[in-house]
Structure 1
Amino acid sequence: MMSEIKKMTTVIITMLVLMVVPNLYAQILPRSTTAKKVNVLFIAVDDLRNQLGCYGDSVIITPNIDRLAKNGIVFNNAYCQQAVCGPSRASLLTGRRPDVTKVWDLETHFRKALPNAVTLPQYFKENGYQSLCVGKIYHDPAASQDSISWSAPEIMAVTGTVGHKYVLKKNSKAKGKAAAVECVNVPDSAYVDGMVCNAAIKVLREIKDKPFFLAVGFRRPHLPFTAPKKYWDYYKRDEIPMPKQPAPPQNVPEIALHNSTELRGYTDVPDEGPIPPDKIRQLRHGYYASVTYTDMQIGRLLDELNKQGLMDNTIIVLWSDHGYHLGELGLWCKSTNFESDTRIPLIISAPNIKNKGVYTDGIVESVDLYPTLAQLAGLSIPDELDGLSMVPLMEAPERPWKKAAFSQFPRPWMYKNLPRVMGYSVRTKDFRYTEWRNFKNGTIEFTELYRYQANGRLEEKNLAAMKQYDNIKITLKQLLDDGWQKALPVKNR
């Protein structure tokens, strides 16, 4: 009799527990079996600097990126780890810094140093996602691709196999680089980014009912500045501002500069000497047109996501591999440690983050994207990553965050075998400190210190030799020597 009473009592208690805590079993089961996986739309834009409406530019026309910004969080102080395509993308996609990936050039594959690395898209694939690539995500050559990252073969990932950088025969038939600009009255799909967008929309329609990590990489505004004529017509050339500070910083060491070789390889740009004012205006016009062209493709992607009813269950991230110079400091393109090259646009919209249309001044880095997306998707964060999840910052945008961001760049560029010198740079709220270290023995050959004024982010004068900045220099040198882990918020160290 007593045993029967015990059994009945157990049944009653169990029923009461289930009534009071109906989600008890849901809480202890793995997330994947109790909740619909949140999707990821991962948008990469090549050579895009913070020249966007949502970053305060009143001339540029970017309504779709601005629309994304209104639905997400805009990071005012996001920085890449090395301001050139291959190393930056390898760092972001592995969540490891360049001295760990050993990718400092455009040829080395990160799997040479990290054969067992699990990349960001690969991690989502291993957690039940369709992980797919359309356009440029890893660096462009076929040798830089990483098929293990994806659930299916990449689409249009290598420019050489796609073509359509140019439309005019005199340009498209040229060996190597042709003109730096091209303006032709053609539809969006005549150029590669329109083709990429079409392909991405097709893929999105095919996978809409499955959890996906869809990476879409746009090539413009990378040189050549080629876009359909209608995007050029959005602007009056004489209303596009000229570079604010066309001269290099005072007292800058030559090693920090370059001859804008990437631009000078184009047939309509002088090989040496100053770029003529008319050409500067044309090039800047081409950059603006290219950005607006890419913005329109991003808008089409967002519209399709909404059409498929996926907007409320998709994390959308827009990032650039690095920034860009458009004549500022006498420089064009990237490959420096200066602010215009290392600072990147970064916008994240996530359905499980309440803050919308919010800006944060917290310092963040490209390597932070991997752990951030993992956490936003409810996945565990791998231990070996060199970044910090930005989710706490997204939830409280005003909270104290990292002390600094760390970037680097080798000299010479481009080098053979190993660089002779590596420039290591640390960026705090108000300053940037850079040491050019001999790569073999670590000897410091040159130093730079810049203070950024509230009204601009251009380097005006190298302060490293000025006595009144000795204490700041000592502090920043110590921060650079201590490394990125000492720059984290206290509880994250």
Structure 2
Amino acid sequence: MHRHTFSAAVTVALVFLWASPLFGQNVDTTGYNVLFISVDDLNDWVGCFGGNPQAKTPNLDKFSAGGGMVMYDAHGAATVCNPSRSSLLLGAHCYKTGVYSNAHDLKKAPGAKDLITLPQFFSKHGYHTISRGKMFHGHKIKGKPGYDWGQEFFDEWIKPPRSIWPPKGAVPLSGVPYAPKGHKRDRAFDWGGVGDNDTTKTMDYQTAAWASEQLNARDFDGKPFFMAIGIYRPHLPWYVPQKYFDMYPLEEVKLPETLANDRDDIIQDNGKPIYFEDSWWKRMEKHKAHRQAVRAYLASITFADECVGVLLDGLAKSKYAANTIVMIWGDHGWHLGEKQKYSKTLLWQESCRVPLMVKVPGVTPTNKRCHGVVSLIDMYPTLVQLCGLPANPKNDGRSFAKLLHSPDMTWNEPILTTHNRGNHRIYDGRYSYITYNGGEELYDHRDDPMEWTNLARNPEYAAIKERLKARVPRTNSPEAPSNGGPGKGKKKTRSVR
């Protein structure tokens, strides 16, 4: 089939799919488009997800009210940007591709050489694929400045403008001193108002406004489109216009619930702790800046929500509103002090769980939470099935298309999340099993949603632990070569810390 031809066979497949018992209703989806929106480093602090009642996300909440189903128990396939995005966009787990960290190059990964990315798959089957903003992770391109965000995987790729950063002499803009050591890493963990309080000057707003204009001005040569848009905030540093900070008076900001001795039951056999102390957490603790950090993350979420709203409003005004599937997702979670940790990377709930929302016009109900257990790696086969395309047999994920019409059905097949080579988490909707360097953790989310009590050594849970442990990959592909970009380094990635 020619890559730019939306064939009659596909059209027939679409009609058959939506008239079949899978959805139990007739919906005309001929030539369905896809709007694929990532929001970098967004955790569940979204109103309709309930992760933090302080969060102001009116546009995402409106999207939920208008048929954007909340996939309440969604999780990433990895807990940092590159492996998470590579996994979901390839439809393959890290332990197969060898892309375990931000330093690993998807394009050089031996385990990925025979795989086709999600946008390439749609292009192959007659879609016009177009992208702006961060979708893939950055890789250096020889002879070209800067990092790409996957332009070679799309028919059309538009480079976004630069982010607004304060002058070097003005940092740390937050006023929280950098640590004496690790200054380079610390520089990323900063926040403050930028852009003369004008949202329209920001990279993310301009990306969203551009996408909105495309939806209202183009016919994409008569083809269905796959449009992938990346919103960068709330990725660090949290530099957004001051007005978003002003929405969260500092004295009113509440901190996440934590347990002072949370890590005491996570130890090696010799009694030593498994995890290093987090330097960012220590810095916030030293300068009593936890509240300021939480406020900055909330401000960045509200800013990102406004940018997503610009894009969703553009779709609503366009001729494509009634036949466009929308998926909005975060690539992994984010710690805001829980378990004495900031950032992502680890295999606890705060790093693994992600916001995922899906709207299929005429199918997904309004104001609905689905509690089925899904992984971001499932998005690839789900979109393929929704659009009536032939399945990709190399996809590791499981289509959750059935859930979109029957969100209350049981859906708790265990899913896998990986951090660095050989460290994995298996989660089935109630229990979370984590293994790293031979160490183990087990949590019961029904009784312990904060993961405060490690049950791995409790003999009463031995059978449950063994059941989940049997799902852990027995082999792990070698690490892919470095991409020379963000997170570059000659040393192999370390185990979980």
Match of 2:113 in 1: 115
In structure 1, how many angstroms separate the alpha carbons of the residues matched to 2:30 and 2:139? 36
Matched, 1:470 2:432: no
Give the SS at the match of 1:153: strand
In structure 2, how many angstroms separate the alpha carbons of the residues matched to 1:475 and 1:116? 32
Return the structure number with greater relative CO, CA threshold 8 A, min gap 6. 2
Match of 1:50 in 2: 44
Higher percent of residues as helix: 1
For residues 256 and 377 of structure 1, do their structure 2 counterparts lie closer, same or farther at Cα, with a shift above 3 Å needed? farther
- Code of the residue aligned with 2:443 in structure 1: it is Y
For residues 231 and 472 of structure 1, do their structure 2 counterparts lie closer, same or farther at Cα, with a shift above 3 Å needed? same
- Code of the residue aligned with 1:85 in structure 2: it is C
Asked whether the 8 Å contact 1:256–1:336 carries over to 2, the reply is no
**Cα-to-partner distance string for 1:58-115 (whole Å, 9 max, x where unaligned):** 2110010111112121111101111000000000001111111210011222232222
Match of 2:290 in 1: 280
**Cα-to-partner distance string for 1:174-221 (whole Å, 9 max, x where unaligned):** 996366011144211333212222332233334345421111101111
In structure 2, how many angstroms separate the alpha carbons of the residues matched to 1:346 and 1:164? 25
- Code of the residue aligned with 2:198 in structure 1: it is P
Matches within 5 A, 1:16-165: 30=12, 36-56=30-50, 57-70=52-65, 71-111=67-107, 112-113=109-110, 114-143=112-141, 145-156=149-160, 162-165=161-164
Asked whether the 8 Å contact 2:11–2:31 carries over to 1, the reply is no
Give the SS at the match of 2:240: strand
- Code of the residue aligned with 1:283 in structure 2: it is A
Match of 1:228 in 2: 241
Q: State the number of aligned residues.
A: 427
Bigger radius of gyration: 1
Asked whether the 8 Å contact 1:363–1:401 carries over to 2, the reply is yes
Matched, 1:190 2:188: no
Match of 2:383 in 1: 373
Query: Which one of 438, 441, 444 corresponds to residue 448 of structure 1?
Result: 441
Q: What do you get for the CA RMSD once the two structures are aligned?
A: 2.8
Give the SS at the match of 2:44: coil
Asked whether the 8 Å contact 1:352–1:376 carries over to 2, the reply is no
Match of 1:5 in 2: none
Matched, 1:257 2:275: yes
For residues 172 and 215 of structure 1, do their structure 2 counterparts lie closer, same or farther at Cα, with a shift above 3 Å needed? farther
Matches within 5 A, 1:324-473: 324-410=334-420, 422-437=422-437, 445-453=438-446, 457-473=449-465
Match of 1:15 in 2: none
Give the SS at the match of 1:251: coil
Asked whether the 8 Å contact 2:216–2:317 carries over to 1, the reply is no
In structure 1, how many angstroms separate the alpha carbons of the residues matched to 2:79 and 2:276? 13
In structure 2, how many angstroms separate the alpha carbons of the residues matched to 1:69 and 1:202? 23
Does 299-308 or 249-258 show the bigger shift?
249-258
Does 390-399 or 472-481 show the bigger shift?
472-481
Match of 1:245 in 2: 258
Asked whether the 8 Å contact 1:86–1:106 carries over to 2, the reply is yes
In structure 2, how many angstroms separate the alpha carbons of the residues matched to 1:221 and 1:125? 30
**Cα-to-partner distance string for 1:321-366 (whole Å, 9 max, x where unaligned):** 0000001110000000000000000000011424332211110001
Match of 1:214 in 2: 227
- Code of the residue aligned with 1:84 in structure 2: it is V
Does 202-211 or 55-64 show the bigger shift?
202-211
In structure 2, how many angstroms separate the alpha carbons of the residues matched to 1:154 and 1:28? 28
Give the SS at the match of 1:55: coil
Does 175-184 or 339-348 show the bigger shift?
175-184
Asked whether the 8 Å contact 1:317–1:348 carries over to 2, the reply is yes
- Code of the residue aligned with 2:37 in structure 1: it is I
Q: CA deviation at 1:243?
A: 2.4
Moved over 6 A (4+): 26-29, 32-35, 172-175
For residues 448 and 290 of structure 1, do their structure 2 counterparts lie closer, same or farther at Cα, with a shift above 3 Å needed? same
Q: CA deviation at 1:30?
A: 4.5
In structure 2, how many angstroms separate the alpha carbons of the residues matched to 1:28 and 1:212? 14
Match of 1:13 in 2: none
In structure 1, how many angstroms separate the alpha carbons of the residues matched to 2:83 and 2:401? 25
In structure 2, how many angstroms separate the alpha carbons of the residues matched to 1:29 and 1:98? 34
Query: TM-score scaled to structure 1, two decimals?
Result: 0.80
In structure 1, how many angstroms separate the alpha carbons of the residues matched to 2:14 and 2:450? 47
Match of 1:311 in 2: 321
Give the SS at the match of 1:362: strand
- Code of the residue aligned with 2:72 in structure 1: it is N
In structure 2, how many angstroms separate the alpha carbons of the residues matched to 1:102 and 1:345? 25
In structure 1, how many angstroms separate the alpha carbons of the residues matched to 2:328 and 2:53? 20
Q: CA deviation at 1:306?
A: 1.2
Does 399-408 or 92-101 show the bigger shift?
399-408
- Code of the residue aligned with 1:452 in structure 2: it is H
In structure 1, how many angstroms separate the alpha carbons of the residues matched to 2:302 and 2:337? 20
Q: CA deviation at 1:32?
A: 8.2
- Code of the residue aligned with 1:203 in structure 2: it is Q
Q: CA deviation at 1:465?
A: 1.5
For residues 238 and 98 of structure 1, do their structure 2 counterparts lie closer, same or farther at Cα, with a shift above 3 Å needed? same
Asked whether the 8 Å contact 2:122–2:226 carries over to 1, the reply is yes
